[in-house]
Structure 1
Amino acid sequence: MEEASDAELESIESRGKALSIAKEPYEFAMSGNWEGLKKFYKKGDKKTEEIVGQLTMNNDTALHVAAFAEPKVLEFFISLIKAYHEPSLLCLALNGQNNHGNTVFHEVAASGNLNAAKHFLELENRVESEPGYQRVLKIENKLGETPLYRAAAFGQTKVVEYLASKMEDKELHFKRKKDEISILHIAVIGQHFETALWLAKNYPCLANGEESNGLTSLQLLAQMPSAFRPKFRKSIWTMLLYKCISPSTDDFPPNQKGDLESSISQPCQSSCSRKTTGWRRIDNMLEEMQNRKILSELIDLLVKEDYSWAKYEEPTDNIKTFTLVYSEVEKGADNCVRKENGISTCTGISQTVKSTYKYTPLLIATCTGISQIVKMMLKVHPQSVDVHDIDNEQNILHMAIKHRRLAIFNILAKRKLTTSRLANRIDRYGNTILHHAADTGFYSVDAQWVSGPAFQLQEELRWMARVEKIMPPHYFMHRNNQGVTAKELFESKHSSLLTLAKGWIKETAQSCSTVAALVATVAYAAAFTVPGGNDNRGVPVLRHSPFFITFAISDTISLICSLTSLGTFLSILTSPFEYENFHHSLPFRLHLGFALLFFSLVATMLTFTATIVLLIHHQKTWTTSLIYVVAFLPVSVFGLTQFPLYDGFSQGFKYISKTIKKIKRSG
């Protein structure tokens, strides 16, 4: 590594000092303390000038960060900008770009703040004649995106409509220069179907456009099964509620013109007229219904305009016959081997450089799981969270996820704005954070603090679900450099664990069902051999004793719980053993079966105790013995509770089952 020159060292030092000065407003912004940020910049004219100064490692200013805050916060900063008397400062505020090339207007367009966008365009009138000034509508970031394109990428339909009305050469804004993806493609990829519908209706030429891989918007939409998957079909009650509030076709009157013109005459009409009931679940259902209506209209329009199906021709040479096995073996980049089943087995994600000597302290602490260092680093040098591993292009979130550092992950998750920025990054190998959650190359599954392969697999599935919540939805379909999605990678890495989990949960359920059947047999027999016997009419002799009621209730509870637990364990044995079942269904049934079996054992002990008390009390010599019984009961219950519900029960039941088998064989 070449030594830095004196000028470079001086530049680094000055930049570090500038960032240190901006530490306080950075903390206000990242923690969402907008009132504190506003008070900070109210302190004199010097603070006002610092609004256009560097605030983050990515060269963001306070305006860039405030663009995603509440509208009133950005309006406050706009009022401060309006007070600028120097045109150079106002030009810098409007034209200043961060490391990604985004101006404040790019961020405002992405946030959907329509009023702020109008204010910025009004401010342009004061500096249009300044030398070197560029119109904010035409400035492109490093990906070649204009503010109009960014608004569409984030699904801000109102802003898209407004900016489109202010532009003359709209076609110049309809493609991203880096990869030729059109504005309609990006809206579909982000599953912003309302925006996509408005664009497809007002600019039909976009429907037939192709991105760099030759795919049209309809072809991209056809590869998104998650967009069509219903969200409210998981339970019968939810489904019934969905049916009850689902609007009929009369609620959406047909267009009088026979097309979509009347429904799109006012953009964002659907979102603006969306009704809310105050019930979160019902509001989500209503929103899904509205989204499905929009999606249906979009499909209708794209199918009418898309003719990509007509361009394909049957190849005339090198025609391959039908085969179920792909036998070609090829080695490509990043250690990717194509095997006989046609599935790429790639080692690139796990072959990432594991040494941490080139990392910053924050990244090293993240890899090793020292949360105290991470907390302190983020407190003293908060901007260090933006630093990433240059070789692998991985940030702190990638590191925390791939090394399974839950404590550090939770620290980052509390910083929602920081997490949303970090979650969008894709590393050198094309892996998202979900790919790292699916990989096991940087930790051992057996090292988890859970016992049993079934619960280990459940923890893996929970980890995937935890990471999915902070990741953009359309990233689920992303394929890395080896053409593998995160789901495919997860299944390939956890296939052996799935096999172990199947065997383990079957053996545990069989052992526990044996014990449950034994307890049920004892409880059933006790019901017909009541203490004290029956009289000539078959009525229990001791039925008037209060201890007899205890005996009857506890024996009934024991029988019900043991039989219910037996049915629960049997339902486990007859269930499908797929990944999704291990996420919730199977572990829940196992927990329920353990709990019911535990209660049946406790009830059986109470039955036994009540029987002893009845017999001793009937003989009038029960005082001393009762003391022993009552003293023994808590000790016995405490002994049972010391069995861990997950491991102790299963191991104990396995031992009992093996003992019963030995007795049967010897008998």
Structure 2
Amino acid sequence: MDESSDINNYHVTTSTNETPPNLEGPGPAPGQGPAPGQGPAPGQGPALGQGPVQGQGPVPGQGPAPGQGPAPGQGPAPGQGPAQGQGPVPGQGPALGQGPVPGQGPALGQGPTPGQAASVLRLPRQDLFADDRRQDFIHICSPLYKAAIEGVWETANEIMQQFNQNQNQNQDGRPPLVHYAITDNCETILHIAASSSRNTDFVRNLVRDMEPEDLLYQNLSKNTALCLAAMTGNVDIATIMVNKNRELLTIDFESHITPLYIAALYGKRDMVNYLYDETRRQGGPYTHYKWVCLKCVETDLFDVALRIFPEIPDNDGANEIRDILGVLARKASAFEETKQDLMSSMMGCFKGRPHPNTGEAMKLLDLILTRSETWPKQVLHNRLRGPVTIINRIGTYPARILFIAAEMGNIKFLVELFRKYPDLIWKVNDNKQNIFHVAVSHRHESIYNLLYEIGSMKDLIVAQKDRDENTLLHIAAKNAKNNRLQDVSGAAFRMQRRLLWYKEVESMIPPHYTEKRNKDGLTPSELFSQTHNKLLIESEKWMKGTASKCMLVATLIATVVFGVAFTIPGGYEQNHGYPIFRHNPVFIVFVVLDAISLILSATSILVFLSVLTSRYALEDFKESLPKKLMVGLTLLFLSILTMMIAFSVSFFVLYHHKFNLFIGGSISVLALLPIVVYGLLHFPLLKDMYHSTYGSKSLFNPKKQMLYYKNPTV
């Protein structure tokens, strides 16, 4: 069999789809090449990796066998390509080794013509997977795979030399081992080595003896070795292969998926920067950059997206620019100014995903908004509205960028839009809800607070109703659509936060709107009681359970310290009944602390008792019950603190003479350990209680404005 015919055994596909598919899930697309080891599909060539039956030619009087060239002296078989060395058959592809026919795809053995959608899938030989060569697979493919993964070049080189030597001895004209697939997915040894991030020297030695066209082999997932290197992010390996064959940079398959796109898809910043620079030097087609820029934004590579975005022409990348805005709208965290400590920064570097630069995300948004100044008004609205979705023959727009940002709480994104286009604040979605309806339903106070900055317009905006006749207060009466309120400790404080939202919105709307009914015939207060009935029961149960357990602990402390007050350390004098250590200052400290602990524990018992006997009305959860519980827990903590200090003092008074000073002092200090444990375990709860009760009052109507001030901060 001729070596060149085996190497150039291509599978040609043509695609006109310009949308890159999801790369998840390897394997050939349905309807493509046959499964390895099987015969050809009807109307297609031979099975992948198999040639014609040796010793047989075409049937006399008929065309050549499937997958073979034409019979000697004959023209091409019907449906086949032209004979080697001849011109193309009218309507068929080009001759082998020739350039492309005008208007057709690229010639076999060549790369795709720039700007065209035709793609060539080049598979390596699969002879080692034949049933009669199972021993070769066991003794060649498996050890070679292991050596390539581990980067052991000596072992791999020995296997390849032995294989090539055997091939030469057989004189069957078969190519070296680098042309053979060693996995079921048709990966060569170069694919395996490139997929490991530590095989730079291995790849360098392997590529050194390969021909440039040997690097063009693909697996059944249509990936070259450079594509796998782009997934791992090893720039050194990519540099070795690109220097060998620069055609690897611009090879795309069916949907313009290039190594640059794959690197952006997997968020490999250094690899994207390298491949982008090399692709620009190569003069790659600009249609790829719009998809690469979109993937860079999705993977938080905003610095790279800033470099690529100017390369996207406005008339060609309309959908991608719209999608980039949609991704930015969803990435509220990309616009937040978070201060990281040293440990967090180091951990981010180790993980390979540093925190995105919030300034770069904002610069990209400003760049898009600056370009939008040249868009017609309808084009701007169409891109902000998003693609249409047909439901029951009715067109809806669920991906409206403005409302996606409102759902995600992306306040800085919205502020930039409103500064550029103030009229957007009046826009409504398919449910006739404005952004403040959405902000209240998702409990984003930062967006809601913009109402305090738009003057008298807020009176018109808050009076709007949605499609179900729900006012803004009806929406506040419903349960939140996300888990933003789940970070509050305990059901009682979640109820408190929802009451605060309800009361805040109630103070914002016109007074007569509090009695408005929606399509279900419910007023806001009735809707609130209906939707929060379960939470009210849970809040009461949580409050009673917490108060009863804390009261039990306070009772035990009061009992102990009351008894210790009359069984003091050292005892009493027999003659006068005075304490023996009454003149010792440390003993006086013990007595005072014991009395303070008794008073605090007794007071906390009364506070917890008042919590247990409360009526548990909705209004009680706003301030009364949370304050009582917070005061009771604080008194309990202080009583434990004074009790343990009193114990340490009494131990030191009694035993510092019997033991040496170091031992007595150490035990006294260790006695304070329960205080530390209690503080670590219960301080977060006390902190949440304080912020929920007192700090939540500053959630609304903040003093610092955002909309018309430079560099807004949340």
Asked if TM exceeds 0.5, the reply is: no
| Superposition TM-score, scaled by structure 1 size | 0.41
Choose 1 or 2 for highest CA Rg: 2
Higher relative helix content = 1
TM-score (norm 2): 0.39
